[in-house]
Amino acid sequence: MNDVAYPLLFQQKEGVRHMLQYHNLTVFKTFRKELRNTATDTERELWEAIKGNKLGYKFRRQHSYEKYVFDFYCPAVRLAIEIDGSIHDERSSQVWDQDRTAFLNAHSIDVLRFSNEEVFSQLSAVIQKILKSIKEKKNQNTPSCG
């Protein structure tokens, strides 16, 4: 990785080039651990379905990027997955979610959102949507042969 291709990932300090960290910032480590230890039933349900490369891709729980913590994250395709409870029905949460998604999209991270009800009642459909999104992301990152 070089600073020409990725100028925002590096900073110069005292004549030495340092890579900036955006993923899993240390300041959020305790918070992320607490979130993993207090996962909702819905988060545990989906985690059981996707952990351990069950979908052919590695996922992380409670992964952060800058100030945002995702329920799940697939680093291979830069895909965040959020499970939304009823709090996300409130207008203030919707605005936060929209701003967050726009920020993440601007940093090439796609966000899939599912409701608690979707995960509990339609888990196989949720998994299929995740797999479809992964396939689409992989196809976007594959250079064309033209």
Q: Say which amino acid occupies 75.
A: P
Evaluate whether 26 touches 64 at the Cβ level (below 8 Å): no
Q: Is residue 67 part of a domain?
A: yes
Please tell me the total count of domains within the chain. Answer: 1
Q: Which domain holds residue 123?
A: 21-141
Residue 1 lies in a domain: no
For tokens 């925002």, what's the residue? Answer: 8
Residue 86 pLDDT greater than 80, yes or no? no
Q: What pLDDT does residue 65 have?
A: 82
Domain-embedded: residue 135: yes
Residue 7 domain-assigned? no
Question: Do the domain assignments include residue 54?
Answer: yes
- Residue 9 falls inside a structural domain: no
Asked if the model's pLDDT at residue 36 lies above 80, the reply is no
Q: Flag whether 31 is in a domain.
A: yes
- The CATH number that applies at residue 75 is 3.40.960.10
Q: What mean pLDDT value characterizes the chain?
A: 77
In a domain, 2, yes or no: no
pTM of the model: 0.72
- The answer to which of 5-14, 22-31, 89-98, 126-135 has the lowest mean pLDDT is 5-14
> Are 60 and 72 spatial neighbours (Cβ–Cβ below 8 Å)?
yes
Report pLDDT digits (tens) over 99-120: 888 988 898 899 999 999 999 9
